Every structure is written in C-alpha cells, then in structure tokens.
Amino acid sequence: MSGGDPSLLDDVRVLDLAEDRGQYAGKFLADLGADVIKIEAPLGSKARKTGPFKDDLPGLENSLYFIYYNTNKRGITLNLNTTVGRDLFKQLIKRADVLIEDSDAGTMESMNLGYPALCEINQYLIMASITGFGQNGPYRDYQAPDIVSFAAGGLMYISGAENEPPVVAPCEQAYHASSLMAAFGIISALYLRLNTGKGQFLDISTHEVLASFSQGIMRYSVTAGSGGRTGSQFFAAPARIYPCKDGYVHLLVFYPGHWRSFLDMIGNPEILSDKAWYDATFRAKNRDLIDPITIEFTSKHTRAEITDLCQSRGIPCTPVNTPADICDDPHFIARDYIIEIEHPAAGMHSYFAPAPDFTESPAVIRRPAPLLGQHNQEIYAELGYCDQDLIQFKADGII
Amino acid sequence: MKWALEGIRVIDLTDSIVGPFTTMLLAGCGAEVIRVESRMHLGFRRNGPWGPWGSEGIPQIPEEMIDFDEVDINLLVGPTYAELNHDKLSITLNLARSEGREIFKRLVKISDVVVENFSHGVMQKWGFDYPDLRKIREDIIDVTIPALGKGPAEKWSTWGMNLLSYSGFTYFWGHPDTPVTERMASGFHGDYIAGTEAAAAILAALYFRARTGKGQHIEISQAEATVSVLGLAYLDYFVNRRISQPVGNRHPQFAPYNCYPCRGDDRWCVIAVRSEDEWQRFCRAIDQPSWTGEEKYQTMEGRLEHIAELDEHIAEWTRKHSPHQVMKILQSFKVPAAAVQNYEDLFYDLQLRQRGFILEQNLPRLGRIEVSGAPLRLSSGQKIPEHRTAILGEHNNYVFSHLLGMQEEEIKRLEKDRIIF
C-alpha cells in the first residue's frame, strides 16, 4: 500500500507498551511513518479481550478494538515480569527512539524500568508516560479509566441534556485526548533532539489534557459559574438539532447575517419581522416561539435539502450523521478517507486513512494490526536471537 | 537550544478554537507565533460570542456597526481569547487590501510555518495558495485546518458543534433513551482533537524538513480528525454492519460502572469497577452493607445481569456523600471513582493546583484571571509561559520595523491608509 515517498517519521522507532489510554499515540505516530513495535504480554494485550469483536465472537484476533488501535504497528510478545524479559526489553530500548507507556505512576520504576534506568542504557530515548493524573500530586495514585478522567477533567459535567444525568462521550475520548497530546509531545521532543542530541521524559496527565479541553478554569475565573448541560442547544436560536423529514439537522443561526438569511429561507414570517430578533440573546430567550416555527420548516424537508438551503445562504448547518450516513456522504466519498484494508482474521474491511494530508510525505496505512507475536522472529533476530532461542523463550514463558 | 521550537516563526491566521489551540501548543514549545489580525475583521475570538462585547448574555455588535477608528483595543482581549492566545505576538494587517497582502508576502519570506483555518478558497482568493507561498519561500510549511477540507462541501460554513453532529459524535453521545434532538452537540471536543492533531502534524513536517530540506502543504480536515477518534464505532459498522446506539455511562463488560447522584443539587460521581478485586475493595470501602453479600452480585456476569437494582443500591450510598467524598473514599481503596467536577471544582482542584497547572494572567479590562496551563510536561524544551496575551497590534513595531525593516514614515502612512490597521 505504500508509495515510494519518504515518510515523515521513517527513521523513528517506537516501543509501545500502552494498554489503554496511550494506544492511540503509537497509532498516530505509526500513521506518520514511524516503526512502532507493539509489545504485548505472552497471552496478549488487554485490548485483544475488549469488544466489539468481528461477528460478536470474542477471540484474540477478532477484537476490532485491538485492530483499530494497532493497524500500522508491528507486534511482539514479551513478559516484563521475568528477568530475562526485562533484559530483552533493555536490548530493545538500546535501539529505540521512543517508549510509550500508560501504566499507573510508579509501575515502571517498580520493575527497574523507570526513565533514569532506561536513560542510562540509551540517552537518546524519549519516554512518554501517560497517566490518569500525572507523576506527582495528591491524586497521583488514583485509578483512572476513561470515565474517571472524563468526569474529573470537567467535560462530563457539561455533557448531556439539561434534565438528565451527565453522560460520558462515546469511544473513550479521555484516552484519545491524552494519546494525541502525547504524540504531539513526542514529536516535539524528537525535533528538539535533532539539535541537542538528548532524549527526555514526558509527563502526560490525562486530567490536565481534559481540563484544558473544558475551558472550565477560565470560565469559573471570569464568571464564578459552575457550567451546566444544554444538550444540543447553543445560546442563540434557532441553534440546536431539529427533526426533519428523514432524520435530523443541526442548525446554528448566530450572527445577524445568519438571521437575515434564515428569515429569507423560511419566507420572512411577519411575526419575526421586528429588528429586535437580530439579537442572538433576545432570540435565545424566546426559543419557545422560534423553535416551533423552525420545526414547521425543517419537518417539510429532507436533511440534504435543509443543509443545501442553509449552506447556499451561508448559514452553518449539517445533517446529524450515523456511520452509515458518512459512508454515503458525497464529500467523504470524494476525499477517499475511507479505504479498504485486509486483516488475516477480520478479512477485507473499511478503515480510515490517516486524517492529516501531507503533499510531500504522505501518511498512509501500510500494514494491518499484528497477530499475536507476529513479528517476534524478525525483531528478535535483530538482537541476534535465532529460532532456537525463541523456542526456548517461549517454553520459559518469556515471549 | 532552550526550547524545542526556538527560532521557528509561525504566521497565525487562525480564528475560533481549533487554530488558536494549535498555535498555542507551538508557542508552548518556544515558536515565535505572530497572529495576523485586523480591526477590519475582528473575527470570532476578538469579537465573537465570547468576545468582550459578546460574553455570554451580552449581545454582540455586528462588525458593520463598529466604528473602527474608535475601537478600544484594550477591550479586545476577552477571556477565551486569552486562554488560547497567550504567549503569542499580534500584528494588525488588512489582507483585504493588496498592499496588505504584499506585506504579508514579505513576512512569509522570513517565516517557517503558515497556519489558517479558513474554508477552502479564502487563501486562494488572496493569492496565498500553497504554490504561491512556495514561490515566496521554497521550504514553507503551509497548514490549513478547514472544517471539511477540499471537496464537494469545501465551502460549507460550520461551527465546531456542527461537526460533532456531522461526524457521528452526537448520534452516539447520550443515554439510551435520550432523543436525538437532546443529545450532546454543544461542546468543542472536535476543535481540541483536531487542534492537537494539527500541532502534531506540523511538528512532524518540521522534523521532516530538518532532515530533507523540504517544506510542504498540510490539510487537516476537522471532520476527519473528529471521525478518527470514533474509530471503534465506525469499525463496528464497517465490519459488523452495526450502527452503535448511545449506551450512556454503563459499560458492556463491567459492573458497577456508572454515574451516580450525590448529595447536593446536580452533583454526581462516577464509579468504575472492572474486576473482582475492585469489587471486593469497593464493598469494603462502603462498609459492606448487607446487599453487597448477595450471591447474585459475586460475579461480573451476575452484576451485569442485575445492574439496575445494583445501581439503585449504590445510589443510596452515594446520595449520602459529596462527589469528592466518594472519590476520596473509593480511591483510597484503589477503586476507580471521581467527582463529576464542574467548573468551580476544577478551579479549586487540588491536583491541578499542586502541579502548577493553572496560569495567571492580567487582562486590560478584566484584571487578574486564571486559565489552563500547558496540557503536557516536557522535561526539556518547553517554554515557561509569560502569562501575557497581546493586545491587538501590540507587536506591530517589532514585526514591521525590526523584522521587515520598514521605515517609520511608511508605517505611519500604512496606518493612515488602514493597511496596518
């Protein structure tokens, strides 16, 4: 699948120990061309036991969760709970540029694999530790699965409908956020290393990443308000999700220009002719009047019709899509963002191309997610081990 | 070399959240980020819904009603602007005028990266398409972060919330019985995700340029970046032809795993028990009321099967405590739990405070405010923030006179002609 072009990070080797919140970091770097080696315990990563599964059949090679996050990576098995395993790991570290790990703070140190120990082996190493709450502070040892980070980081409180309990975002967004921030930090450190020749340690606290995304500190600082949930409602009108003939549209009429165009689109009803309606805040206070008029209009048209009518007038509006809708979306189709790849167990299936488009060094999908231990032979051979050694390692529960 | 991006100059034409967040990350690594702004187009951030005249609840002033000569630039540093644009430089340059565009080209010549988040067509109209910029500076890294990107819908006008709906987020983001119209579509999650991806992509292009001497054009479609973090739901559709439905806070494999009511008005906590060990510790932490001993709760399967009544029992306990009490009690038994923190909780968050996450700034109108600090920690190469947000055009002299070598009379004339304006 790869062209002949050089890729962005093709001289970078990454060891990836991530089990949950850090998985997408390695995936992002792999998409940019880095050689990312996923290291799993001999019985397989926790991710392989996480659904959804192909045809709903659990199995180590059937996890779509594992497949999504590990496409473009190579994979080996290694038991870090054994002395020989840790020794092999250190040999791998010697040849690596980056290590990504997302265990609880202190876990790597407890195995003598903390940054100071690894730095002694390889001073060029960039080690990124992605934790729930960071490497220090009173919450350092707090357990932090995705929902805990989403709640503590301030995003959950503002997520959901007004009269319902807060609701976590789909597909582990706390994990994605901290993974992407780690990827940014890692490439910054690689860039710095070009000049300094030194590696470094990155401390990524999922808590801090989400706190940034929430804007909560700034907002409290200015308003002393606690925030709240508004579902799809923005503070204007019409500015929410509306039902239409064949589904839903998300319409945002905010600026005076939007309002002028909106009136034109729905036929300038007399009741909305007063100039006061040009003020978004005034409209927001009178949603009870505007929303029924809006729904009367939207429910007569299809998603595509309303979107076209609005967009041709410069009014922000999109359909509310499901994955099936996106697969039929002319814009998505034209951009070739959804591609076909083949996985030995999942077969031919659709997958996303890497989101950033680069003209000089394209990011491409080069290989499917590794089967358990698929690249043991080629990677341990680099360290000088032959098939005979691998048989022994296997017998000893090391790989 | 103190900072990772020391000596890298970034021209920042961005507005709203996604672009300013991207360049904020670059500034945090020591890049010299120059925001190119104009009184003639104050944009979303200087004068949008969160701008000084339009902070929530106050009507915004349409740009056609503004007397540009009378604009008090000190008022144009709103809190959201300050959250995302501290430690950057600001110049005023009116790109609607050809003379302004000529000066912009001179700036491109001495810069490394140009970043914008316009819809496709704006840069092209100005003669700043990638091939044009490349003629000015061969190895320029030209970055666009449009809503949808080049293609049939390239001219669409969307806000960040629209993209949550467009990408599928909204469809999945709710409780099982939340009507589609009430699902979550009012936040900026997509902006932040796309902004972080964009910053990482820019760094990768700089890394590539350092090794090969080659610049390039990068397009990060916000819609695609947003869809890419929903990969699981999409793969379930691609492979199993299933459209996932909103599941709320429960987990298909673990129980108890949910959001529970706490003492107080609209106060909540989350608890996530993922193993038998955690279940045992959870029972001890809440003092083992008799129901915890019931046979049906002793396995994950049993708890999942009887989840509704189990959640009721737990809610009885959580209602007696504040969200932070629940977090403290359970976490001290190593059971995953958290307060569902609101803005006030975040502001006083012990962990954030003790790690020095929070930044203080002094704004001309609002005085002292506090904002989010750097969302990651590098052990070297990160710039210590100066906690300052530039007022509009604060660095005109540095850029036009010092960097571009323009004479004082020329600058005065350009100011009068509303070019440097």
CB B375 within 8 A of CB A181: yes
Query: What does the pLDDT look like over A48-60, one tens digit per residue?
Result: 999 999 999 999 9
B384/A270: higher pLDDT? A270
| A144, A120: one domain | yes
Region A267-276 average pLDDT: 94
Distance from CA of A166 to the nearest CA of B (A): 7
Is residue B189 predicted with pLDDT exceeding 50?
Answer: yes
pTM greater than 0.95 (yes/no): yes
Q: What is the arithmetic mean of pLDDT over A194-222?
A: 96
Q: For residue B43, what pLDDT is reported?
A: 66
A308 and A359 share one domain: no
For residues A301 and A320, state if they share a domain.
yes
Is the Cβ–Cβ distance between B115 and B202 less than 8 Å?
Answer: yes
pLDDT confidence of residue B50: 46
The answer on pLDDT for B62 being more than 80 is no
How big is the CA angle at A341 (ends A337 and A346), to the nearest 5 degrees?
125
Instruction: Report whether B245 contacts B176 (CB < 8 A).
Output: yes
Q: How confident is the model at residue B228 (pLDDT cuts 50, 70, 90)?
A: very high
pLDDT at residue B58 is higher than 70: no
Tell whether A36 and A162 lie within a shared domain.
yes
Confidence of residue B363 (pLDDT cuts 50, 70, 90): confident
Last residue of a domain, one of A303, A327, A351: A327
**pLDDT 10s digits, B118-155:** 988 899 999 999 999 999 999 999 999 999 999 999 99
pLDDT bracket for residue B387 (50, 70, 90): confident
pLDDT digits (tens, 9 = 90+) for A70-129: 999 999 999 999 999 999 999 999 999 999 999 999 999 999 999 999 999 999 999 999
pLDDT band for position B78 (50/70/90)?
Answer: confident
Whether B347 and A356 lie within 8 Å, measured CB to CB: no
Q: Which residues of A touch B375 (CB under 8 A)?
A: 181, 208-209, 211-213
Is the Cβ pair A220, B377 closer than 8 Å? no
Cα A314 to chain center, whole Å? 30
Termini Cα distance of chain A: 30
**Is the pLDDT score of B342 beyond 60?**
yes
A229: in domain:
no
User: Do residues A201 and B379 lie in contact, with contact meaning Cβ atoms separated by under 8 Å?
Assistant: yes
Of B102, B121, B104, B99, the residue nearest B34 (C-alpha):
B104
Select from A138, A185, A250 the Cβ nearest to the Cβ of B376: A185
Closest partner residue to B336 (CB to CB) among A144, A154, A170 is A144
Cis peptide before A356 (omega within 30 of 0): no
A7 domain residue, yes or no: no
Quote the mean pLDDT of chain A: 95
Chain A closest CA to B54's CA: distance in Å?
9
With cut-offs at 50, 70 and 90, classify the pLDDT of residue B66: low
Q: Does residue B68 surpass a pLDDT of 50? A: yes
pLDDT band of B61, cuts 50, 70, 90: low
Q: Say yes or no for a CB contact (<8 Å) between A64 and B252.
A: no
pLDDT at B56: 39
Residues A58 and A92 occupy one common structural domain: yes
**Would you call A359 and B4 a contact, using CB atoms and an 8 Å cutoff?**
no
Residue A86, in any domain of the structure? yes
Q: Select from B247, B385, B63, B1 the least CA-distant residue to A255.
A: B63
CATH code of residue A296 = 3.30.1540.10
Please report the pLDDT score of residue A4 as a whole number: 54
pLDDT band of residue A230 (cuts 50, 70, 90) is very high
Closest CA to B126 of B159, B94, B158: B94
Distance CA B131, CA B282 (A): 62
Name the residue facing B351 among A133, A155, A349 (closest C-beta).
A133
Share of chain B above pLDDT 90, in %: 83
pLDDT band at A130 (very low <50, low <70, confident <90, very high): very high
Statement to judge: residues A354 and A298 lie in one domain: no
HEC readout, chain B? CCECCCCCEEEECCCCCHHHHHHHHHHHCCCEEEEEEECCECHHHHHCCCCCCCCCCCCCCCHHHCCHHHCCHHHHCCHHHHHHHECCEEEECCCCCHHHHHHHHHHHHCCCEEEECCCCCHHHHCCCCHHHHHHHCCCCEEEECCCCCCCCCCCCCCCHHHHHHHHCHHHHCCCCCCCHHHCCCCCCHHHHHHHHHHHHHHHHHHHHHHHHCCCEEEEECHHHHHHHCCHHHHHHHHHHCCCCCCCCCCCCCCCCEEEEECCCCCCEEEEECCCHHHHHHHHHHCCCCHHHHCHHHCCHHHHHHCHHHHHHHHHHHHCCCCHHHHHHHHHCCCCCEEECCCHHHHHCCHHHHHCCCEEEEEECCCEEEEEECCCCEECCECCCCCCCECCCCCCHHHHHHHHCCCCHHHHHHHHHCCCCC
CATH classification number, B9-228+356-416, choose in 3.90.1150.10, 3.40.50.10540, 3.30.70.80, 3.40.50.720: 3.40.50.10540
Q: What is the pLDDT of residues A353-378, one digit of tens each?
A: 999 999 999 999 999 999 999 999 99
Query: Which of A157, A171, A187 is facing B207, going by the closest CB pair?
Result: A187
Query: B379–A203: do the CB atoms touch at under 8 Å?
Result: yes
The ipTM is 0.97
Looking at CA atoms only, how far is residue B394 from chain A in angstroms?
Answer: 23
Residue A249 has pLDDT above 70, yes or no: yes
Residues A192, A104 share a domain: yes
Residue matched to tokens 């049939």: B152
- How many interface pairs between A and B have CB atoms less than 8 angstroms apart? 516
User: d(Cα B12, Cα B9) in Å, to the nearest integer?
Assistant: 10
Percent of chain B with pLDDT over 70: 92
Residues in chain A, how many? 399
CATH of the domain at A149: 3.40.50.10540
Residues A17 and A161 in one domain: yes
Neighbours of B135 (CB within 10 A): 11
Q: State the Cα angle at B343 between B341 and B347, rounded to 5°.
A: 95
Tell me the one-letter amino acid at A293: I
Residue A335 to residue A340: CA distance in whole angstroms: 14
Q: Which residues of B touch A50 (CB under 8 A)?
A: 253
What is the reported pLDDT for B55?
41
Answer whether A212's CB lies under 8 Å from A219's CB. Answer: no
Residues A41 and A160 in one domain: yes
Say whether A324 and B237 touch across the interface (CB within 8 A).
Answer: yes
Count of CB atoms situated within 10 Å of the CB of B227: 27
Is A320 contained in some domain?
Answer: yes
Residues of B with Cβ-Cβ distance to A207 under 8 angstroms: 351-352
Which of B127, B115, B121, B130 lies closest to B148 in space, CA to CA?
A: B121
A262 and A376 in a common domain: no
Residue range of the domain that includes A68: 13-215+337-395
Residues of chain B found within 8 Å of residue A330, distances taken between Cβ atoms:
152-153
Residue A34 has pLDDT above 70, yes or no: yes
| CA–CA separation, A66 and B228 (whole Å) | 15
Structure confidence at residue B8 (pLDDT): 98
Contact A47, A344 (CB under 8 A): no
Residue A22 lies in a domain: yes
Question: Do B10 and B32 touch, CB atoms closer than 8 A?
Answer: yes
pLDDT higher than threshold 70 for residue A5: no
A175/A277 same-domain check: no
Q: Give the nearest partner residue to B357 out of A180, A211, A248, using CB atoms.
A: A211
In B, minimum Cα distance to A173 occurs at B229
| Domain spans in chain B, listed from the N-terminal domain onward | 9-228+356-416, 257-341
Same domain, A37 and A158: yes
SS3 at position A43: coil
Query: Which whole number is the average pLDDT over B280-301?
Result: 96
Say how many C-beta atoms besides its own lie within 10 A of residue A372's C-beta.
Answer: 18
Specify whether the CB–CB gap between B24 and B85 falls below 8 A. Answer: yes
Q: Across residues A335-343, what is the average pLDDT? A: 95
Q: Could you report the per-residue pLDDT of A386-397, keeping only the tens digit for each?
A: 999 999 999 999
DSSP assigned state of A41: -
Number of domains in chain A: 2
Q: Could you give the CA distance from residue A2 to residue B309 in angstroms, rounded to a whole number? A: 53
Domain end position, chosen among A271, A304, A327 = A327
In a domain, A5, yes or no: no
Residue B83's nearest CA partner among B147, B153, B28 is B28
Distance from CA of B342 to the nearest CA of A (A): 5
What's the pLDDT tens digit per position in B229-260? Answer: 999 999 999 999 999 999 999 999 999 999 99
What percentage of chain A reaches a pLDDT higher than 90?
Answer: 94
Beta-bridge partners for A251? A240, A317
Token output for A342 = 């083949």
A166 domain-assigned = yes
Over residues B5-50, the pLDDT tens digits come to 999 999 999 988 999 999 999 999 999 999 999 887 766 656 554 4
Model confidence at A3, pLDDT cuts 50, 70, 90, reads very low
Question: Do the Cβ atoms of A168 and A150 come closer than 8 Å?
Answer: yes
A35-55: average pLDDT: 96
Asked whether residue A259 is domain-assigned, the answer is yes
* pLDDT single digits (tens) A286-321: 999 999 999 999 999 999 999 999 999 999 999 999
User: What is the distance in angstroms between the Cα of A260 and the nearest Cα belonging to chain B?
Assistant: 12
Topology at the third CATH level for domain B257-341? formyl-coa transferase, domain 3 (3.30.1540)
CB contact under 8 A, A216 and B55: no
Q: Is A327 exposed, middle or buried (0-12, 13-18, 19+ CB in 10 A)?
A: middle
